């Protein structure tokens, strides 16, 4: 199905320890509009999508796991040298008490990941419109994260992820048009 190259999809660099930024980035790790929710949503929906567009869901769902790996790397790099005091000041005291510096699927507010984030209606158009909305919400979140840091290295990786969300939304829009065109074709002659 795919080959795992033991490198990130795009390089992740950070120029300083920044636990507060790590706290915000966790939103894209385990939040409702984050990479895990997207990957699981698309890979689940592919079973009820027409064959003509199944590859889009498979490809993008798999890529979202690569994005999850990038976010995990960012959070790790932003917190690896942080003291317990810095983590507490950043609002990560409860996280530290429960998980040390280990990653945990939760949003920026500390709410654990839930399967209710994963939408699947079974109607191809409804699901694809949901996917477009999910990509646009993720794009917006990445922009806000870019705005929240002055670390140009981190901004570079976040800009890459934001641009991939835009491409994914475009691909889902194309899939919608393929399904609409197929639906509107005369089936009986």
Instruction: Give the active site residue among 27, 63, 64, 106.
Output: 64
Which residues have a Cβ under 8 Å from the Cβ of 34 and sit 6 or more positions away? 27, 28, 68, 71, 107, 117, 138
**Calpha distance 73→127 (Å, rounded):** 30
Q: Is 115 exposed, middle or buried (0-12, 13-18, 19+ CB in 10 A)?
A: exposed
Active site annotation includes 163:
no
Among 130, 82, 97, 102, CA closest to 30 = 102
**Calpha distance 52→108 (Å, rounded):** 37
Instruction: Give the active site residue among 27, 63, 106, 165.
Output: 165
Instruction: Give the active site residue among 27, 63, 67, 106.
Output: 67
The dihedral region occupied by 91, where left means phi > 0, alpha psi between -120 and 50, and beta the remainder, is left
Question: To which H or E segment does residue 169 belong?
Answer: helix 152-184
Instruction: Give the active site residue among 27, 63, 106, 135.
Output: 135
Instruction: Give the active site residue among 63, 95, 106, 168.
Output: 168
Active site annotation includes 64:
yes
Active site annotation includes 67:
yes
Active site annotation includes 106:
no
Partner residues linked to 106 by β-bridges: 112
Active site annotation includes 165:
yes
Instruction: Give the active site residue among 35, 69, 136, 177.
Output: 35
| SS3 assignment, position 27 | helix
Q: Which residues are catalytic?
A: 35, 64, 67, 135, 165, 168
């Amino acid at each position: 199905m795919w080959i795992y190259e033991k490198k990130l999809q795009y390089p992740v660099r950070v120029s300083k320890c920044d636990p507060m930024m790590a706290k915000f980035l966790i939103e894209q790790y385990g939040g409702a509009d984050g990479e895990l929710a997207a990957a699981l949503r698309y890979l689940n929906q592919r079973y009820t999508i027409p064959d003509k567009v199944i590859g889009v869901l498979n490809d993008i769902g798999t890529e979202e796991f690569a994005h999850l790996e990038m976010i995990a790397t960012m959070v790790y790099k932003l917190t690896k040298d942080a003291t317990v005091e810095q983590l507490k000041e950043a609002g990560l005291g409860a996280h530290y008490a429960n998980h040390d510096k280990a990653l945990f699927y939760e949003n920026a507010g500390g709410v654990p990941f839930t399967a209710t984030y994963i939408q699947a209606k079974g109607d191809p158009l409804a699901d694809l419109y949901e996917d477009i909305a999910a990509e646009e919400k993720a794009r917006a979140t990445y922009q806000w994260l870019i705005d929240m840091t002055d670390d140009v290295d981190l901004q570079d990786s976040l800009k890459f992820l934001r641009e991939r969300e835009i491409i994914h939304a475009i691909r889902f829009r194309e899939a919608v048009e393929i399904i609409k065109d197929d639906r509107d074709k005369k089936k009986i002659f």
